[in-house]
Amino acid sequence: MTDKDCSLPCWWGFTLHRDTLQTTKSTLKNLFPDLLVQSNTGEKSTKTFMVLPTGPDLDSENGNGVVSFWTRNSDNRLVAVNLSLDYPADSYVDWSSYMPTNILTVYGEPEDVTISYPLDGLPRGTSYYLIMSYPQKGIFVSYMMYYATLEEIIDDSVGIPICNYLLDVSLFKMWIQTEDANADDIGISLDALDSLQPNEYHLEDISTYDMASFTEAFSEPDTCIYTLPYDEWVRAE
């Protein structure tokens, strides 16, 4: 699995806005039946997907993934692709190239980094989402992380750790989309990634890190940074 000889926006040899649904189907033999997706404005697209049996047990979600493809019906062009993977560390495939350190090395400083917590778990939940956004490049990456130990986050006077340990990732998602792909094309509001969701915070508003210092820190594997104490967090409106 490689993006070798691919230029953005590209995914495993497929070039968005150039390749068609027929190209996808002829290349990938184990696709599931097509699904017709219709947006609120009536624009239609075709979604198809395949399961990646990369885990130790096909009956388990661990290590297995799903790749979804959206083709805009008006011009029959591939406009968005999504990879979703549960517990990548349990897979026999080495997914380290999709983890934060390598993403930052390949694509550089993100335009935005946000941290999201479960609605019922802020700030003492056992997991959080780390979301890195490159809207100008059409790339959005999300990691659901587990804390190494609950004891690390019990004291509200101490910042919450944000880490990039592969073993802590329970769910990984990556979007690649064309510049003009939007909710009207695929029936899913990728534009929502440009606005904060409930219990989602810009990293710069809850820590001393900006995009440059975050990129420098997370360019090293197995690294943790810390937020400000929770009572000092700022919610950007």
Q: Is 79 left (phi over 0), alpha (psi -120 to 50) or beta?
A: alpha
Compute the average pLDDT of residues 109-133. Answer: 77
pLDDT, tens only, 22-72: 666 665 555 555 555 555 556 677 777 777 777 777 666 676 778 787 777
Judge contact between 157 and 229, C-beta under 8 A: yes
Task: Give which of 62, 59, 81 is closest to 72, Cα–Cα.
Answer: 81
pLDDT, tens only, 186-216: 544 444 455 666 678 899 999 999 999 999 9
Residue 1 has a pLDDT of 34
Distance (Å, rounded) from C-alpha 117 to C-alpha 24?
Answer: 35
pLDDT, tens only, 72-90: 777 777 778 888 888 888 8
11 pLDDT band, cuts 50/70/90, is low
Distance (Å, rounded) from C-alpha 164 to C-alpha 129?
Answer: 11
> Is 183 exposed, middle or buried, given 0-12, 13-18 or 19+ CB atoms closer than 10 A?
middle
Distance (Å, rounded) from C-alpha 34 to C-alpha 52?
Answer: 17
Between these two residues, 234 and 100, which has the higher pLDDT value?
A: 100
pLDDT, tens only, 148-184: 544 455 455 667 888 888 888 888 888 887 766 655 5
User: Which range is most confident: 36-40, 89-93, 217-221?
Assistant: 217-221
Residue type, 185: D
State the Cα torsion 205-208-209-210 to the nearest 10°.
60
Compute the average pLDDT of residues 81-104. Answer: 85
